[in-house]
Structure 1
Amino acid sequence: MIKVALEGAEFYAYHGFYPEEQVIGTRFLVDVQVGFTAETDIEKDNLHNTVNYEILYAIIEEEMKHPRKVLETVAQAILNRVKAQFIFIDTAEVTIKKQNPPFSGPIKQSVITICYNK
């Protein structure tokens, strides 16, 4: 099994249930990890034999630009696009961390994770 991941991709975005969250925005950290079995010779040093980080980042970046009320919706959209782009993956995990969520006391972050197993 090969695992490929991006960790701590940072975005300023406008996701949130409350209208002010969609106006003010906040920082988010996104982690995406995928796993697959190499069906071709990985030693051929060919980018097509693995998950391209650049494409993975572009998917995350594009989905983070679309404000949504629920983070699970954002994570599922990222996961769906990753699965469609890299049809050979066996597992995937998308984690979104909302920095400083709007509560009455200090909280570092709220976190959601969505997992996929073929």
Structure 2
Amino acid sequence: MGTIKLTNIRTYSYHGCLEEEAKIGSDYRVDLLIKTNLKPSAHTDELTDTVDYVDLNRIVIEEMAIRAKLLEHVAQRIINRILSELIMVTKVKIEVTKLNPPIGGDVEGVTICMKKKKNSFFRLIKEK
């Protein structure tokens, strides 16, 4: 097994429960960690034998562009897409941070962290 990390993916998105957040938006940071088998690509030096981080970044950007009230909802959508679209991924951990949140204080950011492992039965079916 191995790990691929994408750190500090920056987006400007419109998430939040407040009406103002839907109108003016905010800066966000996403950190993503996935688990996959890196042995084949380490041996072959072929992109087709690994998880392309361009695809990971694309999924994050696309899902961050779809408005949600809660960061948890956005994070779960990202996790679900990665696990369903990228067959070689076995586990996803994501942190979504709203920078300078409107919570009435001097707070740099609010972060939610979620993770999910692909069901091993599901992995066996996909690998066949």
| TM > 0.5 fold call | yes
Corresponding letter in the other structure for 2:28:
F
* Partner Cα separation in structure 1 for residue 54 and residue 115 of structure 2: 21
Structure number with higher helix proportion: 2
* Partner Cα separation in structure 2 for residue 104 and residue 41 of structure 1: 48
Q: Which has the higher contact order (CA 8 A, sep 6+)?
A: 1
Deviation >6 Å, runs of 4+: none
Task: Give the equivalent residue in structure 2 for 1:4.
Answer: 4
Give ranges in structure 1 of 5+ residues lacking alignment. none
* Partner Cα separation in structure 1 for residue 40 and residue 103 of structure 2: 49
Task: Give the equivalent residue in structure 1 for 2:110.
Answer: 110
TM-score, length basis structure 2: 0.86
Matches within 5 A, 1:1-118: 1-38=1-38, 40=40, 42-118=42-118
* Partner Cα separation in structure 2 for residue 48 and residue 41 of structure 1: 8
| 1:39 Cα offset (Å) | 6.4
TM-score, length basis structure 1: 0.93
CA RMSD of aligned residues (A): 1.3
- Contact preservation (8 Å) 2:36, 2:51: no
Say which SS state the counterpart of residue 40 (structure 1) adopts.
Answer: helix
